[in-house]
Structure 1
Amino acid sequence: MQTPASMVMGIVFAPLGLVLVLTAAITPQWRERQARLGTTGHGSLLRAGLRGQGAVARTGPADAPLMLRTDGLWESCLQVEHSELKQCWPVTGPYRRDPRVRLAQGLVLTSLFLCGTGIVLACIGVRCWTDLPLRGVAATGGLLVVTAGLLSLTALGVYTHSLGRLGMAEPGRGRGPAQHRVPQPGLRAAGSLYFGWLGSCLQVLGGSALLLSFKRPQCSTCAPCPHLPPRRSRPKISHRPDADAYEVSC
């Protein structure tokens, strides 16, 4: 069987999009911020680690080591530039309880599940080992893949739109002065978001290609063979005895 080009495009783009979205989901580089190390909090801990590694800990704010803070859906990391010192921990505090972060987590998990299910159905529907593919099954898988791509795009859009306000309490909510912090400048999108955007677009493209499986192409094997004469012009085969072939009438 010659697999249609739409099915080939779908079964190639859909798994690739799934891998990219999964990579974005498990990596902690959704947003990042750079800052100079201070003398308290994580800065003092990292300075102690740098001293333990033999590095020189500078005290001036201008020449202090540069710290890179990254946040993901399930993990946050803190790393010193040009150093192997890195610390990661599960997301906690207001960032973990932020409804937009929880919404993005749920949408990404649902997207991964739907995309995996759609790829399985697409593989069953293509059936490259037989002559007739199951077009309805392949198209249903494509519909699931398109839905998964749209869900992941929604999650990425919500996170990117509120990137600088995630984990910050809204005015009028919470108790105490610590709940009324303003978004800190310097937050920007990191590499995992770009992986997610690319993977989601590939999912939508692959699923749309599989949806074209609903269109049944014309069967090229049903056309009459040009090497055979038409039925009405074919010679008739007689089953009469050989003697009848030489019968002479006056």
Structure 2
Amino acid sequence: MHTSASMVMGIVFSPLGLVLVFTAAITPQWREGQARLGVRSGAVEALLLLRSDGLWESCLQVEHPELKQCWPVAGPYQRDRRVLLTQGLILTSLFLCGTGIVLACIGVRCWTAIPLRGVAATGGLLVLTAGLLSLTALGVYTHNLARLGMPNPSQGVPVNPRFPQLSLRAAGSLYFGWLGSCFQVLGGTALLFTFKRPRYPTCPSCPELTACPACRSCPEISNKHDTDVYEVSC
């Protein structure tokens, strides 16, 4: 069988997107910030405090001396509705993308002559939906990055002046997520094109008969050796 370019593109990009989004989900570098601790009398330099947050884990690092501690997310950040929404969308996206890849692999069936185009395209639809959900989750998190889990003085929540204020910014896990989501969208879109069936040339001796190599409906083709009929590219 001849595996179409859209199938190959979908089968390559979809797992790559899944791996990148999964990597982003389990790493604690969605946002990071730093602040300098107060300098005591006689100290040569202030201590640099590095803080990073992910969806399920946060880390705190102090430089000079080098100390790092990670723990599951807790407190206002864990209870923030935007963080909970992002977690739910990412988990749903991973499940849909994994299911879509399984369906796409079953549908492509490069070991047989005729692929299951409907099954492959259905898998592509799931992968595309997963990519859109990931993009939505990343958009929500990025838009509210500096406000997630932070006290809001306008709502009467006091701010502790002793705690150093961090300058928060996007970190590496977010970029992995954006890249993986784009790969999911590309892979899912490519698999959707497998709904379109290929056009076969007509049989030379019977112009009204379609010369389909898979079913050998043309007598001139059916009399040839298999090596003259099939093109394997999977």
TM-score by length of 2: 0.80
TM-align CA RMSD: 2.5
Determine if the alignment matches structure 1 residue 136 to structure 2 residue 118.
yes
Whole-Å Cα distance in 1 between the matches of residues 194 and 206 of structure 2?
A: 35
Give the SS at the match of 1:217.
Answer: coil
Whole-Å Cα distance in 2 between the matches of residues 195 and 20 of structure 1?
A: 6
Structure 2 contact 28–59 (Cα < 8 Å) conserved: yes
**Corresponding letter in the other structure for 2:181:** S
1:205-244 matches, within 5 Å, as 205-220=186-201, 223-225=202-204
Whole-Å Cα distance in 2 between the matches of residues 119 and 112 of structure 1?
A: 11
Deviation per residue, 1:1-21 (Å, 9 max, x gap): 110000000000000000000
Structure 1 contact 31–163 (Cα < 8 Å) conserved: yes
Give the SS at the match of 2:35.
Answer: strand
Determine if the alignment matches structure 1 residue 59 to structure 2 residue 68.
no
Structure 2 contact 124–189 (Cα < 8 Å) conserved: yes
Structure 1 contact 126–133 (Cα < 8 Å) conserved: yes
Deviation per residue, 1:140-181 (Å, 9 max, x gap): 00000000000000000000000010002445546x6349xx
Structure 1 residue 110 displacement after superposition: 0.2
Identity percentage of aligned residues: 77
Deviation per residue, 1:188-211 (Å, 9 max, x gap): 000000000000000000000000
Structure 2 contact 35–166 (Cα < 8 Å) conserved: no
Structure 1 residue 35 displacement after superposition: 1.5
1:104-143 matches, within 5 Å, as 104-143=86-125
Whole-Å Cα distance in 1 between the matches of residues 175 and 111 of structure 2?
A: 37
Question: Which residue of structure 2 lines up, in the alignment, with residue 195 of structure 1?
Answer: 176
Structure 2 contact 29–53 (Cα < 8 Å) conserved: yes
**Corresponding letter in the other structure for 2:57:** E
Q: Structure 1 unaligned runs (5+)?
A: 41-57, 231-250
Question: Which residue of structure 2 lines up, in the alignment, with residue 54 of structure 1?
Answer: none
Question: Which residue of structure 2 lines up, in the alignment, with residue 236 of structure 1?
Answer: none
Higher radius of gyration, 1 or 2: 1
Whole-Å Cα distance in 1 between the matches of residues 177 and 60 of structure 2?
A: 22
Whole-Å Cα distance in 2 between the matches of residues 82 and 12 of structure 1?
A: 44
**Corresponding letter in the other structure for 1:94:** P
Whole-Å Cα distance in 1 between the matches of residues 36 and 20 of structure 2?
A: 32
Structure 1 residue 184 displacement after superposition: 4.3
Whole-Å Cα distance in 2 between the matches of residues 206 and 84 of structure 1?
A: 42
Whole-Å Cα distance in 1 between the matches of residues 206 and 143 of structure 2?
A: 69
Cα separation, partners in 2 of 1:215 and 1:165, compared to 1, 3 Å: same
**Corresponding letter in the other structure for 1:157:** G
Question: Which residue of structure 1 lines up, in the alignment, with residue 7 of structure 2?
Answer: 7
Structure 1 contact 31–70 (Cα < 8 Å) conserved: yes
Structure 1 residue 83 displacement after superposition: 6.0
Structure 2 contact 78–84 (Cα < 8 Å) conserved: yes
Structure 1 residue 224 displacement after superposition: 2.2
TM-score by length of 1: 0.75
